[in-house]
Amino acid sequence: MAPVKQIMFDCDNTLVLSEQLAFEACTELANELLEKHNVDKRYTVKELLTTFVGQNFRGMMKGLQEKHNFTMPQDEMEAYVDRELGAVISKLSKSCEPCPGVIEVIERLAKEGRKMSVVSTSAKPRVVAAIEHVNLTRFFPDEHVYSAATSLNPPSSKPDPAIYLHAAREEGAEPSECVTVEDSVSGATAAMRAGIPCIGYVGVYGIEDSEEKMKEMAQALQEKCKVAAVMYDWKEFDKCLAQIEG
């Protein structure tokens, strides 16, 4: 294909190491919710992350209801969404770090004049808090940050492709003229359904989990999501992009 018009990036565990911090904040609320609805199951941070990685808190609560057969009133869901957002923003604005090597890549792409945006399933205030803390807002101003939880009405969550289709329209590009970087099956599935070529980034699994988990995720992204390339380290980004641009 011709040079891409728009390079899109997922945020959590793609640009910033935020998933672990975010799930620490929301596990307590998730277990509180289960107790409130008389569900015996309680999740550890790792178990919740493994089960719902790539989904926002709204999507997670819908998943918990389906998995454990209970129903939340809409006002209760909105109250929990607000509480979770505040707790996560507090953590990210103090503690999150960039994924290794990503700053250098983004700086180089900016010098090359590449058009870039962030396309996340997480609430926009959370995304902004994370990229502000690692000094990436200089490359991703507010108008180029898109959130499935905040930018859409009604809100959505990956693997629904709606946020990618919305971002492409706003940026004036066809989905096929874009490329994105995703670390999860749900995110890469959203890209696939939107018709956007995807680079699957799995390096974070080697940092936070194990080499075996990293290889398992690479295989899942290739087989389930048909990613165009797999990236184990941000140093490989140029090679992966060249592979897509042909």
Write the Ramachandran bin of 204: left for phi over 0, alpha for psi from -120 to 50, otherwise beta: alpha
CATH architecture of 6-17+96-245: 3-Layer(aba) Sandwich (3.40)
Give pTM, 2 decimals: 0.85
pLDDT in tens, 176-200: 999 999 999 999 999 999 999 999 9
Nearest to 18 by CA among 138, 126, 101: 126
- Domain boundary assignment for the chain: 6-17+96-245, 19-95
Band of residue 64 on the pLDDT scale cut at 50, 70, 90: very high
Cβ-proximal residues to 101 (8 Å cutoff; 6+ apart), any chain:
233, 234, 235
Residue with the larger pLDDT of the pair 1 and 239? 239
pLDDT at 1: 64
Alpha-helical runs (H) found in the chain = 19-36, 45-52, 57-68, 74-95, 102-111, 124-133, 162-171, 185-194, 203-208, 211-225, 237-245
pLDDT in tens, 115-169: 999 999 999 999 999 999 999 999 999 999 999 999 999 999 999 999 999 999 9
Question: By three-state DSSP, how is residue 175 classified?
Answer: helix
- Res. 54: pLDDT tops 80: no
